[in-house]
């Protein structure tokens, strides 16, 4: 009994120290988790499908609540849950087609509702392959990687529902600094 | 040499707040980087190294069959083994989305997925065939009978992800009650969760205010209008302070220092941009908490300047000696019958409750963030619980625990406080020359040292013998401006390093 009392006192005594030391740590941690979960986070690019604009291993700051406040916009670089495995895989792609659009890829160019889509973020000589026509429903977006010859995107797995779009990439922070909107 | 020593000493004496700040900044940086680096988003390319046949050089092709069964409770079995995936609710439909093959590094010439549905709904299900990183023909879907469908993929590359998607009408699945409740709660809007997260601490705060005020009403002493020009009893100022505040804080420690100086145990030295304490005499009548306080300031020396005091204060993140000082004050006050239970123990009870609640809340918060994604608004409930626990731990200090004896004693001291804080000036006379310094420690613990000093503003002031300064022609105002910062700084610093929970 005495021993249990001793252990209990130790826990209470130690708990006090943990509480006092831990409270600031926890305030930081909670603030960080809230920021990281609901507002701003960082991801690292893995792969070449957004070349030449985003490179492999670049660190990107992205907003998680952008698309809770407003709807995604055309040409946004977005973080997206992979439709094939949304719980594990996340993609970074560019939104090219909006709900209700008809996207057509023909002869190396992208057409939006029958008109040639001007994409100034791509090298002028870059051609978009994998021809096809996709009509998007009211809740669907068409996402494509900037590296058109080497990107796995809506051209292969189809348009994605809005629920798969997680947030908007804001800026490259490492190893260079550049706002995504300037790309 | 002396300069060198001083530089070295300065380097060691990093303040406790700075140490905490440095420590927390380090943790913050590590955790932030850790959390962020855990996320890798694929700029997913096609995988052009697979070769023209898509086999990636793999020559042994094989055919693979998967038997997938969706149970009526929403669980999914693959080849009679329970999968971690479940049927999920997506708006008005129930969806199975499961990567059957994912980057297995093996080439399959054909994959057939036989899927058994929980009901005879095969002709009414929606379907999607996701075949990523494969160069073969698209995956096909076929209804076999009322409760069986088949997905077939051919020429599946080693890097492929094969994901059949089935959407079923709402109500097809009858999940367990817990999952149902969880699904129901997860359907709450972000606004509702934020309201819940705010309401819990708000309700706790209201409850604690009610608890404190109802207890305070029970032991109410009423407004004391009487004024007494003498302390009701000869009590150490720290005990008066704990009777008044129910807590030993910076004021109680500062007042004890001034009281020790008044009783000629120590000198307080004011130097230009510096201060020091010096031992005077050894007094055998010192109370145990006073002895411990002196030992914290002086250790084995008879002189202790700011640098040494700061070093001693900052020697440890927490000081047991200061805890012994405060513990001694609490014990004395309880022994005098002022409190039904030792305030320290009473605080500890609520603090323990607060600590447990706080850690449960934080644990739930982190778990909710990890388990429920995109985004986990459910976590606001746990955050609210953690904040509520903090409110309990903090507000409980204010629950009145004075006994009738304590109330009566406090009333007497309040009458004395009325005298100390009376705005009328005290007329000068030879007899009351030393009155100011005599009652100064009591004025400090009764939160009225400034108004007490104002009562003597028309007096010619003589610097007390226990206060050593190189300033000449020091008036009362200069004295207060010089003494108060010193004692309050030392009192605050010491109160801050008390070991929490120390018994």
Find out whether A175 and A54 touch, Cβ atoms under 8 Å: no
Tokens of B199: 């309401």
How many Å apart are CA B254 and CA B490, to the nearest integer?
A: 7
How many Å apart are CA B473 and CA B465, to the nearest integer?
A: 15
Same domain, yes or no: B225 and B160 = no
Task: Mark A30-51 as b/e (b = at least 16 C-beta within 10 Å).
Answer: bebbeebbbeebbbbbbbbbbb
Q: Please state the length of chain B.
A: 503
Is the reported ipTM for this assembly greater than 0.90? no
For B369, the closest of A33, A47, A92 (CB atoms) is: A33
Residues spanned by the domain of A105:
45-182
How many Å apart are CA B443 and CA B6, to the nearest integer?
A: 37
Can you give the pLDDT at residue B131?
A: 80
Q: Is A93 a catalytic residue?
A: yes
How many Å apart are CA B261 and CA B344, to the nearest integer?
A: 27
Residue A67 lies in a domain: yes
| Inter-chain CB proximity A151 and B45 less than 8 Å | yes
Residues spanned by the domain of B154:
52-174
Tokens of A126: 């870059």
A63-108 residue pLDDT tens: 988 888 889 999 999 999 999 988 888 999 999 999 999 999 999 9
B316-366 residue pLDDT tens: 656 677 778 888 898 899 999 998 888 777 777 887 888 889 889 988 888
How many Å apart are CA A148 and CA A65, to the nearest integer?
A: 28
How many Å apart are CA A45 and CA A23, to the nearest integer?
A: 34
Contacts of A1 (CB under 8 A, 6+ apart): none
Find out whether B502 and A22 touch, Cβ atoms under 8 Å: no
B212 class by beta-carbon count within 10 Å (0-12 exposed, 13-18 middle, 19+ buried): middle
Find out whether B364 and B343 touch, Cβ atoms under 8 Å: no
Residue A30 lies in a domain: no
Does B126 lie at the interface with A, CB-CB under 8 angstroms?
no
| Inter-chain CB proximity B43 and A153 less than 8 Å | no
Residues of B with Cβ-Cβ distance to A48 under 8 angstroms:
43, 45
Residues of B with Cβ-Cβ distance to A16 under 8 angstroms:
348, 351, 355, 499-502
CATH code, domain with A100: 2.10.109.10
Same domain, yes or no: B153 and B223 = no
CATH code, domain with B153: 2.60.420
Most A CBs within 10 Å: which of B16, B37, B39, B44, as the mutation test of the A interface? B44
Contacts of B288 (CB under 8 A, 6+ apart): B328
Tokens of B58: 């793999």
How many Å apart are CA B165 and CA A82, to the nearest integer?
A: 13
Same domain, yes or no: B121 and B241 = no
Number of domain units in chain A: 1
Residue B249 lies in a domain: yes
B17-73 residue pLDDT tens: 556 666 766 776 666 666 555 577 777 776 544 433 444 445 556 889 999 999 999
Residue B97 lies in a domain: yes
Same domain, yes or no: B226 and B166 = no
Q: Please state the length of chain A.
A: 183
How many Å apart are CA B2 and CA B207, to the nearest integer?
A: 59
Residues of B with Cβ-Cβ distance to A13 under 8 angstroms:
501-503
Number of domain units in chain B: 2
Would you say residue B376 has pLDDT above 70?
yes
Find out whether B283 and B291 touch, Cβ atoms under 8 Å: no
Work out the average pLDDT over B428-432. Answer: 70
For B348, the closest of A12, A60, A88 (CB atoms) is: A12
Q: What is the pTM of this model?
A: 0.65
| Inter-chain CB proximity B41 and A46 less than 8 Å | yes
Interface of A with B in 17-76 (CB under 8 A): 17-21, 23-26, 28-30, 32-34, 36-38, 41-51, 54, 56, 59-60, 64, 68
For a pLDDT cut of 70, what percent of chain A falls above it? 90
């Amino acid at each position: 009994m005495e021993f249990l009392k001793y252990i209990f006192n130790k826990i209470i005594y130690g708990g006090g120290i943990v509480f006092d030391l831990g409270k600031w740590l926890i305030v930081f941690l909670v603030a960080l988790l809230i920021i990281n979960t609901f507002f701003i986070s960082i991801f690292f690019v893995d792969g070449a499908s957004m070349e030449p604009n985003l490179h492999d291993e670049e660190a990107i700051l992205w907003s998680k609540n952008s698309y809770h406040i407003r709807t995604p916009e055309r040409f946004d670089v977005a973080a997206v849950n992979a439709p094939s495995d949304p719980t594990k895989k996340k993609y970074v792609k560019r939104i090219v087609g909006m709900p209700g659009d008809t996207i057509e890829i023909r002869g190396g160019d992208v057409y939006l509702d029958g008109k040639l889509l001007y994409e100034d973020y791509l090298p002028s000589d870059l051609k978009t392959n994998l021809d096809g026509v996709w009509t998007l429903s009211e809740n669907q977006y068409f996402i494509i990687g900037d590296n058109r010859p080497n990107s796995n995107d809506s051209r292969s797995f189809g348009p994605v529902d809005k629920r798969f779009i997680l947030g908007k990439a804001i800026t490259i922070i490492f190893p260079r600094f550049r706002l995504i909107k300037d790309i | 040499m002396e300069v060198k020593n001083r530089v070295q000493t300065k380097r060691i004496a990093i303040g406790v707040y700075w140490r905490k700040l440095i420590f927390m900044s380090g943790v913050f940086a590590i955790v932030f980087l850790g959390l962020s680096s855990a996320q890798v988003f694929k700029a997913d390319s096609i995988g052009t190294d697979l070769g023209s046949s898509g086999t990636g050089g793999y020559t042994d092709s094989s055919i693979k069959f998967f038997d997938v069964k969706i149970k009526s409770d929403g669980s999914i079995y693959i080849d009679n083994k329970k999968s971690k995936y479940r049927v999920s609710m997506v708006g008005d439909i129930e969806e199975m989305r499961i990567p059957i093959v994912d980057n297995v590094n093996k080439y399959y010439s054909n994959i057939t997925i036989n899927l058994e549905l929980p009901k005879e709904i095969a002709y009414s299900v929606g379907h999607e065939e996701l075949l990523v990183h494969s160069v073969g023909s698209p995956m096909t879907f076929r209804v076999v009978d009322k409760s069986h469908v088949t997905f077939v993929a051919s020429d599946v590359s080693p890097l492929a992800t094969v994901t059949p998607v089935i959407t079923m009408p709402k109500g097809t699945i009858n999940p367990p009650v817990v999952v149902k409740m969880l699904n129901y709660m997860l359907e709450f809007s972000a606004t509702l969760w934020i309201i819940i997260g705010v309401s819990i601490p708000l309700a706790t705060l209201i409850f604690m205010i009610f608890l404190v005020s109802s207890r305070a009403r029970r032991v109410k002493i009423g407004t004391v209008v009487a004024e007494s020009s003498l302390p009701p009893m000869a009590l150490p100022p720290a005990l008066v302070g704990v009777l008044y505040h129910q807590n030993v804080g910076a004021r109680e420690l500062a007042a004890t220092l001034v009281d020790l100086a008044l009783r000629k145990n120590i000198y307080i030295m004011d130097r230009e941009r510096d201060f020091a304490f010096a031992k005077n005499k050894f007094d055998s009548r010192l109370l145990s908490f006073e002895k411990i306080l002196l030992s914290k300031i002086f250790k084995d020396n008879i002189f202790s300047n700011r640098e040494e005091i700061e070093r001693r204060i900052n020697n440890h993140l927490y000081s047991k000696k200061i805890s012994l000082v405060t513990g001694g004050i609490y014990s004395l006050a309880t022994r005098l019958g002022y409190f039904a239970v030792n305030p320290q123990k009473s605080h500890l009870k609520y603090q323990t409750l607060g600590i447990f609640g706080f850690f449960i809340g934080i644990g739930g918060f982190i778990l909710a963030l990890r388990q429920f994604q995109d985004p986990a608004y459910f976590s606001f409930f746990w955050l609210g619980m953690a904040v509520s626990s903090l409110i309990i731990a903090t507000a409980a200090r204010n629950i009145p625990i004075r006994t009738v004896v304590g109330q009566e004693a406090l009333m007497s001291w309040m009458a004395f406080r009325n005298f100390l804080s009376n705005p009328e000036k005290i007329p000068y006379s030879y007899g009351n020359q030393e009155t100011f310094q005599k009652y100064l420690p009591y004025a400090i613990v009764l939160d009225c040292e400034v108004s007490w000093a104002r009562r003597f503003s028309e007096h010619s002031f003589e610097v007390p013998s226990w206060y050593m300064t190189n300033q000449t022609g020091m008036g009362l105002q200069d004295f207060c401006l010089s003494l108060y910062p010193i004692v309050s700084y030392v009192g605050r610093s010491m109160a801050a390093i008390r070991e929490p929970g120390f018994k």
